[in-house]
A and B are shown apart, each in its own frame.
Chain A
Amino acid sequence: MATKSWRLSRRTFLMGTGVSLGLPWLECMADETQRTAAAHSPKFCAMYFGFGVSLPEEASDDAQWRWFPKGDGANYQFNESLKPLEAHRERLTVVGGLSHPRGRKMGGHDTGDTFLTGALMNEKSLVNTVSLDQVIAKAWEGQTRFPSLVMSTDGGVGEPTRSSTLSYDLQGRPVPALNEPRRIFERLFGAGDAELHDQQRRFSSTASMLDRVLADASSLRLRLGHSDQSKLDEYLDAVRETEKRVANSQKWLEIPKIELNDDERKSLNLDSDDQAPFRYIQTMYDLIFLAFRTDSTRVATYQITNMADASSNAIKFPQLIGFSENLHKLAHNWNKPGGAEELGRWDRLMVEQFANFIERMASAKTDDGVSNGSLLDETVVLYGSSNSHTHQNTNYPLILAGGKRLGLRHGRFLRFGEEIPLSNLFVTALNRLGVSRDSFADSEGEISELTTV
């Protein structure tokens, strides 16, 4: 999309005024797409952890380590694990009872792949379907510099039923997750090529290059055997998707990336890795926050831990901070003596990180002179697991936060029956986000309780 010459580039404007950030967009700087971006724009992020939570019986001695709160409705009380969220009570809903019905037919550790997809993966078919975040990313394609930010602690895609990503594209193929903070940072906020002219030239060269490769490779397809054809299709789809992304990047070329302020830069621990779990998890949350704050993308997923056990780097997280067992064992021990508290303490540490994120999102004001709101108010945040306690694919521990401006109502612990598929919540989320859908996966409707008091 060509920018008319009389339009000021934002950077030119900023340099002239000597003011760094936080300026409102001026009409003359924005074309149609950017105007949408400048106004309140809905956002979505999902965070996942594997193996479920500590769930001692409500009447047991360990009841205070039960992840789900006591009571229900607006008059619920947090137990120990969720206490860090006390300050954010009115900003979130604790959701109990939901799960993916198809997930109940799957192995106890197999449901991480389908947390955001609701698909059935079993002996007959290890094929997944599109994930919630990617439906949203597709609907909003082109509105931001990056369609989505897909992250996990392990990175890549893992293996079927031991996925290391939450996100699946429209064909149900896994979207590789990023896991190195420094690289994610470079991608979001790095300088890129110096000269605009060079970049433009490169973009048109890329478009032509991909076009030619696509045509050439497609002609090869018919000569291949069946299984090789599907592998080549993977490649061809990758080329097509890249073409779209390049076209999108080109559109964003003249719009400078929004720069971070010094405090934001300083607070980032870009050298963190899986050897220091909470420093790392915090950094990943920070990156989601900064991506949203700068409107670099409006869709993010982060698989914090997963259920891949011996092939996951996150499996050792509890041990690295002084727990005696790895995550899998910790989760399995929840009903052993002392196990509920042990796992509960871990649950609580995880929730602390999540609470920090909520805090930061809520503190970022998006005052546009019309309404007083925060980044959190325009973001639907989902946090949870696909096991209640380990191996159980029912009653997912879930927190739905933010999105007040989009019509979500909070401050309650809502308990649902098993007959309601989790996909219903996804449909509600989609419609609140303005991505109108009647259905998602195996949904049977919406969950009206989330939007009414």
Chain B
Amino acid sequence: MNLFANAVRSGWITLLLLCLVANATLAQSPAKHVLQPPQDVLNALSHHCMECHGNDAPEGNFSVERLVSDSTVSTAPEPDELASWLRLERVLINGQMPPADAKPIAKPERATLTRWISNAITSVVRTQKPIERMKLRRLNNVEYSNTMRDLLGIDMDFTGELPADSRSDDGFVNEPSALLISSEHLQSYLATARAAMDRTIVSGPAPKKYHHTFTESQRDRKERKTDLTNRLGRNSVFFAKIEKDYPEQGTFAIRVKLSAELPAHVGPPILQIDVGYRPDTQVLFRTLAEVEIKQEASQELEFHGRIENFPLPVRGQGKYPGLQIKLRNSHDDRSPKPEPIKNKQPGEPWIFPNEPHLPKILIESMEFRSPINDAWPPQAHRAILFDSPLRESDPTAYAEKVLAEFVPRAFRRPIKPTELNLFIDFYKENRVRYPDLESAMRETLAMVLIHPDFLFLNKTTGNDLQPAISPRTLDDWELASRLSYFLWSTIPDEALQTAADSHRLHDAEELTRQVDRMLVDHRATRMASQFVDQWLCLDRMERVAINPEVYPKFDSQLKRDMRIETQKYFQEVLDQNLSAMQLLKSDFAMLNEPLARHYGIAGVLGREFRRVVLEPQQHRGSLLSQASVLLANSTGSQSHPIRRAVWVRDRLLNDPPESPPADVPSLERIDPNFAKRSIREQLDIHRDTKSCNACHRSLDPWGFALENFDAVGLWRTESVNVTAQLPSGVTLDGFSDLQNHLLSSCREQFARSLVNRLTSYALGRKLDVYDRPLLDDLCESFAADEYRLKGLIRSIVRSRDFQEK
């Protein structure tokens, strides 16, 4: 879920507290613990809390008096007391209580209270070990797609038919309860498995070869308003059409021979290859590739795809037959486009201005080839249906051998011979039904791919005949899977499998070696990008429409770059093994040309993201100043200080504000002109209203400090009031103060929040009170290691929680 839905859901916080305790199944029978506060704590509670929160009609129905008088805390099955202590701890830590109009509580006294409560809670939960915490869940769509690709060695759209995944209430896409499996899913899995098998396993002779070469762009009489040419500027297209002689299935290559004109001080041209098209569904083209051309000299580039992944015409139907290939130059500096001039010769194409300041691509030739020269049968086929003399001598034994190789890889564990019977029997039945071994095998392997052992993670293995009574240490293969889905979102690779096979993974050194190896692999970018996306709720950007009246020049393509910026930034901190504090403040940004242009940073040419060293006056170099975050928490017309504040409090500090009360008073009654005032003025009125003030005085300042940035994340040049005081008395005067405040006063809180979220991502569940000891340990080593992410990831992997079911 997202925090706004969260924030408006009345009573949600209380609910969470109850759930997190209530949902834990404990290994031992419920124990009673005595939480007897020492005298100084009792005195402080009685002095500061009980006037309102005594037994007699307590405010908010929360009696501190009852809590301390009945000092027995049972962890289960009646967890209310523990939840109450947690709540008390929370309001004391975040300063929400005592309220502003009550006797203030001195800092040391508050610290004494929270320290004691915190230790007491931890001591209770340390004695209890919940079980079944690592719950059965299906692969999410990203994991499913990666798994299919890596298992089969082919690429296709594996998730197009699948319903979108839901998120957990903390924004993550790996929580079991949020990952529903329905008939809709199962049908999609089956259809996808079959489609994948049709592509992976071939039968019959090698398909017909197709080969076409084009040296001149074709003309199209209907398309006079497009510049069809070999010399590509931003308005032109190299157009090629193959009317009949093209394949319906299989791999293809497009090879382009080209040179370029690269004027100084602009980025390189971008070759974009579109293949299509299917007029009857109006989904015309799909882009095969987009690549920057950085040298002027002639070169040849080759791109591969599968023809069935592209919208193709239905043969014999429609007015526009044929496979079409379009090469474009998608470089655009966003300068106004000159109008084409109508040609005086009737029927001739229009004349297009040259625009010499822009880079050009010169197409020398374009070649279409299918299938890609690969042995027949293709590699992916042979990886499953391997060569063996057995195939001829004893086809059934061969099929069994094929399954004995494939199933363990798909299930990510060794399997017993008896388990294989399920598939062998089905294969034999199919072998009668289907004409050849290949088709019977396709169907059998599709069955493997809808089996729960393939679709689900954290599955109990065949050995657990009894329901668990205590946490169980994962075996080597389970650990290998957990590791690969955490860091790579896919199945273990061969090296990891080998380590599991030889039972080395539980060796701490070996495990660390594997983690380090995996982190430098390109697949580790999946962890960074998915984690960052979910942690920071970047998907919310897609739900903010930028108002064209306010931002007429905004290009919605930029949103993609903004999202990548944030992912790359995290990746850079991880890869370079920098302190995680650099997420809050650094001297660099990860930028490409369009984004740098948006920010007004000169000298960044080309689409590729790279590290750009910043000057302080450029106001970047922090998650907080990234357009992704700022735009996601704006209205599309204006910045939205409250949303930004909630984002900082929830996502960065893991201290989300409570939901607004149900009976929000109408502020018009207080000020009839309310709606006409600026957001800042509205919020001032807001905070003067008592029922709002309790939360907003500690919330709004976080957002005001970011008022330096407008709705699309640009630094405001006009003067704007960015000053506000936190309840602690600290005054934040804009972005830079906020950065420094976070680094100095909230360092530990930010670190703990990050540890919490990353651990939550790794374990696939929201952390609860029973995870305090784990969090304490992780935070301690994180701080000792100067907040390096690699070290944190290693510690998470080494923790018992990661290695237990």
CB within 8 Å for A309 and B8 given contacts A220-B452, A235-B452, A326-B636: yes
Minimal Cβ-Cβ distance residue in B for A270:
B281
Contact residues, B1-43 vs A (CB, 8 A) = 1-5, 8-11, 14-15, 18, 25
Minimal Cβ-Cβ distance residue in A for B180:
A157
Contact A223 B465 (CB under 8 A): yes
Residues of A within 8 A of B90 (CB): none
- B-side interface residues, number (CB < 8 Å): 84
- Is B495 an interface position by the 8 A CB rule? no
Contact for B187 among A154, A245, A326, CB less than 8 A:
A245
A332 to chain B minimum Cβ distance, whole angstroms, is 10
Residues of A within 8 A of B132 (CB): 225-228
| Binary per-residue interface labels of chain A (424-440) against chain B in the complex, 1 for a CB within 8 Å, 0 otherwise | 00000000000000000
Contact A173 B182 (CB under 8 A): yes
Minimal Cβ-Cβ distance residue in B for A178:
B163
Instruction: Tell me the bound Cα distance from A285 to B468 in angstroms.
Output: 51
Contact for A182 among B2, B5, B283, B425, CB less than 8 A:
B283
Contact for A208 among B182, B429, B452, B542, CB less than 8 A:
B429
- Is B91 an interface position by the 8 A CB rule? no
CB within 8 Å for A231 and B176 given contacts A315-B543, A337-B675: yes
- Is B210 an interface position by the 8 A CB rule? no
- Is A14 an interface position by the 8 A CB rule? no
How many A-B pairs have beta carbons closer than 8 Å: the answer is 210
Tell me the B residues contacting A by CB distance below 8 Å: 1-5, 8-11, 14-15, 18, 25, 131-132, 135-138, 160-161, 163-167, 169, 176, 178, 180-187, 190, 194, 280-284, 422, 425-426, 429-430, 433-434, 443, 446-447, 450-452, 455-456, 459-460, 462, 464-468, 537, 539-540, 542-545, 547, 635-637, 662, 666, 668, 674-676
CB within 8 Å for A110 and B4 given contacts A176-B180, A227-B135, A319-B636: no
- Is A201 an interface position by the 8 A CB rule? yes
Residues of B within 8 A of A107 (CB): 8-11, 662
Residues of B within 8 A of A159 (CB): 1, 5, 166-167, 169, 178
- Is A355 an interface position by the 8 A CB rule? no
- Is A308 an interface position by the 8 A CB rule? yes
Contact for B164 among A155, A320, A324, CB less than 8 A:
A155
- Is A232 an interface position by the 8 A CB rule? yes
Contact for A176 among B163, B465, B537, B539, CB less than 8 A:
B163
* Residue picked from A108, A161, A179, A324, most chain B C-beta under 10 Å: A324
Instruction: Tell me the bound Cα distance from A123 to B161 in angstroms.
Output: 33
Contact A324 B547 (CB under 8 A): yes
Contact B164 A270 (CB under 8 A): no
Residues of A within 8 A of B542 (CB): 313
Instruction: Tell me the bound Cα distance from A173 to B466 in angstroms.
Output: 29
8 contacts between A and B (CB under 8 A): A107-B10, A123-B18, A159-B169, A176-B185, A183-B161, A228-B459, A271-B282, A338-B675
CB within 8 Å for A238 and B182 given contacts A205-B443, A225-B467, A311-B2: yes
Minimal Cβ-Cβ distance residue in B for A208:
B429
Instruction: Tell me the bound Cα distance from A228 to B190 in angstroms.
Output: 23
The stretch from A25-33, A80-88, A211-219 touching chain B is A211-219
B693 to chain A minimum Cβ distance, whole angstroms, is 20
- Is A234 an interface position by the 8 A CB rule? yes
Beyond A315-B543, A324-B637, 4 additional pairs, beta carbon < 8 A: A108-B10, A228-B459, A311-B5, A325-B635
| Binary per-residue interface labels of chain A (313-353) against chain B in the complex, 1 for a CB within 8 Å, 0 otherwise | 10110011000111001000101111100000000000000
Residues of A within 8 A of B459 (CB): 228
Contact A316 B636 (CB under 8 A): yes
The 9 lowest CB-CB distance pairs between A and B, nearest first, are: A176-B163, A156-B164, A241-B183, A316-B545, A319-B545, A228-B136, A225-B132, A271-B282, A310-B4
Minimal Cβ-Cβ distance residue in A for B194:
A202
A138 to chain B minimum Cβ distance, whole angstroms, is 13
Minimal Cβ-Cβ distance residue in B for A191:
B314
Minimal Cβ-Cβ distance residue in A for B640:
A329
Contact for A271 among B283, B422, B462, B676, CB less than 8 A:
B283
- Is A269 an interface position by the 8 A CB rule? yes
Residues of A within 8 A of B181 (CB): 231, 234-235, 238
Contact A216 B183 (CB under 8 A): no
Contact B185 A162 (CB under 8 A): no
Instruction: Tell me the bound Cα distance from A159 to B283 in angstroms.
Output: 31
Residues of A within 8 A of B447 (CB): 209, 212-213
Contact for B5 among A169, A205, A310, CB less than 8 A:
A310
- Is A294 an interface position by the 8 A CB rule? no
Residues of A within 8 A of B178 (CB): 159
CB within 8 Å for A326 and B136 given contacts A154-B164, A310-B540: no
Instruction: Tell me the bound Cα distance from A237 to B447 in angstroms.
Output: 17
Instruction: Tell me the bound Cα distance from A161 to B169 in angstroms.
Output: 11
Residues of B within 8 A of A226 (CB): 25, 132, 467
CB within 8 Å for A225 and B163 given contacts A108-B662, A245-B187: no
B672 to chain A minimum Cβ distance, whole angstroms, is 9
- Is A414 an interface position by the 8 A CB rule? no
A107 to chain B minimum Cβ distance, whole angstroms, is 5
Residues of A within 8 A of B451 (CB): 213, 216-217
Residues of A within 8 A of B433 (CB): 201, 204-205
* Residue picked from B163, B447, B674, most chain A C-beta under 10 Å: B163
Minimal Cβ-Cβ distance residue in A for B185:
A238
Minimal Cβ-Cβ distance residue in B for A215:
B422
Contact B282 A223 (CB under 8 A): no
Contact A123 B452 (CB under 8 A): no
Instruction: Tell me the bound Cα distance from A338 to B673 in angstroms.
Output: 12
Residues of A within 8 A of B136 (CB): 224, 227-228, 231-232
- Is A384 an interface position by the 8 A CB rule? no
Contact for B1 among A162, A202, A239, A325, CB less than 8 A:
A162
B228 to chain A minimum Cβ distance, whole angstroms, is 23
Contact for B2 among A176, A223, A310, A336, CB less than 8 A:
A310
Residues of A within 8 A of B282 (CB): 268-271
- Is A265 an interface position by the 8 A CB rule? yes
Instruction: Tell me the bound Cα distance from A208 to B443 in angstroms.
Output: 11
Contact B468 A225 (CB under 8 A): yes
Instruction: Tell me the bound Cα distance from A333 to B194 in angstroms.
Output: 51
Residues of A within 8 A of B426 (CB): 208-209, 212
Contact B135 A336 (CB under 8 A): no
Instruction: Tell me the bound Cα distance from A57 to B119 in angstroms.
Output: 56
Contact A311 B1 (CB under 8 A): yes
A370 to chain B minimum Cβ distance, whole angstroms, is 36
- Is A91 an interface position by the 8 A CB rule? no
- Is A242 an interface position by the 8 A CB rule? yes
- Is A10 an interface position by the 8 A CB rule? no
Residues of A within 8 A of B176 (CB): 227, 231
Instruction: Tell me the bound Cα distance from A306 to B33 in angstroms.
Output: 45
Residues of B within 8 A of A234 (CB): 180-182
